[in-house]
Amino acid sequence: MNLEDKFGREHNYLRVSLTDRCNLKCIYCNPMGKVSQKLNRNELLSFDELKRLIRIFLSEFGIKKIRLTGGEPLLRKDSDKFIRSIGELKTLYGFELALTTNGTILKNYLPALKLYGVDRLNISLDSLKPLNYNYITGCNDSHLSNSLKYVIDSIKIAETMNFKELKINTVILKGINDNEVIDFVNFIKNRDITLRFIEYMPFGDNEWMKDRFICTDEIIEKIKKYFDLEKENDCYGSVAETYRISNFKGKVGFISPISSHFCKSCNRLRIKANGKMKLCLFSSSSKEEIDLKGYLRDPSLTDSDIKQVIMSSVLNKEKEHAPIDELLKLKNSSMLNTGG
């Protein structure tokens, strides 16, 4: 059965946050470490609860793609065992398994991720210069100060491992890393990687600054001064506009939730680490954040009851998210708590 909302959008992509904790304090996500990351064990969905929920989505709604994210998903204890257990469901339900990570503890996990069935790997990387990387990510701790090299090494290893898709996510901030756009494009010249520039978005606690915002069109203009971009046909539900560059192995994509939102083809739902299902990345009302944990922990409710809750909640999904001025006024949860 399709999980449709009242605007006929089919939801076949589930993003699941494994934890609200992260070892980085990126200035656009968790400036100065101000976002609270304190879900205790009981507030987190346990791996058994998460697996039950994922099974319901797969068996009842034919979900086609599951992305594990966070916080930093690999920080959660036994995340690899959990990933294996989700990977084992692939033969039964035929879906794609994806992971988004900041790459700072990725290297040792790579063989297991491949073995356990991760198809798509997104690595977040916002600078290729050590000082700027450390500034953006708030990597002042001595054990993290070498992170950029570690992340790039991990990308190089991942490239050799035949993941179905390897992507780099980059948030460009005016005056901070916009002078690295061309360096990033050159970085994927000989790499089978899709580089995606994501527009800087406002969330609760991220102290969004208009002056730092740079829209996709401006980034495209910068790139066009040096390279010819050839647009690819993007598939339904894809949030990025993707371009090829002649003589390049890699591709460049742009995610523009602020300058041109893609609500019309939204096919995604999010499960926060605390077990709330978010209908839209920017939703803030309780109507759009459904506490599935409570239902999962009610012993009188069956999988079929939970299926009904999910179906009727999705019918409340708004047609589109509010414009930027409104978003700034909302008390939306942080990206760390939501799972980006």
Nearer to ligand SAM (CB atom), residue 306 or residue 340: 340
At 255, list the tokens: 């995610």
User: What is the closest distance, in whole angstroms, from the C-beta atom of residue 336 to ligand SAM in the complex?
Assistant: 6
216 near ligand SAM, judged by CB under 6 A? no
Which CB atom, from 18 or from 277, has the smaller least distance to ligand SAM?
A: 18
Stretch that binds ligand SAM, among 95-103, 236-244, 269-277, 319-327 (CB under 6 A): 95-103
The two structure tokens encoding residue 111: 């063989």
User: Smallest distance, Å, CB 68 to ligand SAM?
Assistant: 9
206 binds ligand SAM (CB under 6 A): yes
- Compute the residue count for the chain: 340
DSSP string, 95-140: -EEEEEE-STT-GGGHHHHHHTT--EEEEE---SSHHHHHHHHT--
The answer to whether 28 contacts ligand SAM (rule: CB under 6 A) is yes
The residue among 5 and 289 lying less far from ligand SAM, judged by its C-beta, is 289
Q: Is 124 in the site for ligand SAM (CB under 6 A)?
A: yes
Tokens of 178: 């916009």
Residue 330, both tokens:
């909302």
Binding of residue 180 to ligand SAM (CB under 6 A): no
E strand spans, the chain: 13-17, 65-69, 96-101, 120-124, 165-171, 194-198, 229-231, 240-245, 251-255, 268-271, 276-278, 289-291
Asked if 275 is part of the footprint of ligand SAM (rule: CB under 6 A), the reply reads no
The radius of gyration computed from the CA coordinates of the chain, to the nearest angstrom, equals 19
Candidates 33-41, 97-105, 173-181, 313-321 — which segment interacts with ligand SAM by CB under 6 A? 97-105
CB hemisphere CA count around 248 (13 angstroms): 21
List 87, 138, 250, 340, residue binding ligand SAM (CB under 6 A):
340
Based on the shown chain and the rule CB under 6 A, indicate whether residue 203 belongs to the binding site for ligand SAM. Answer: yes
- By CB neighbour count within 10 A (0-12 exposed, 13-18 middle, 19+ buried), where does 11 fall? buried
Question: Which of 12, 19, 147, 169: binder of ligand SAM (CB under 6 A)?
Answer: 169
Q: Which residue has the tokens 């400036």?
A: 31
Does 127 bind ligand SAM (CB under 6 A)? Our answer is no
* Total residues binding ligand SAM (CB under 6 A): 20
Which one among 119, 332, 335, 337 touches ligand SAM, defined by CB under 6 A?
Answer: 335
Residue 164 belongs to what H/E stretch? none
Report the alpha-carbon distance of residue 197 to residue 177 in Å, rounded: 12
Cβ proximity to ligand SAM: between 128 and 311 the closer is 128
Question: Which one, 214 or 306, has the nearer CB to ligand SAM?
Answer: 214
Closest residue by Cα to residue 208 from 242, 257, 275, 148: 257
Is 200 a binding residue for ligand SAM by CB under 6 A? The answer is: yes
Binding site for ligand SAM (CB under 6 A): 22, 28-29, 69-70, 72, 100-102, 124, 169, 171, 198, 200-201, 203, 206, 335-336, 340
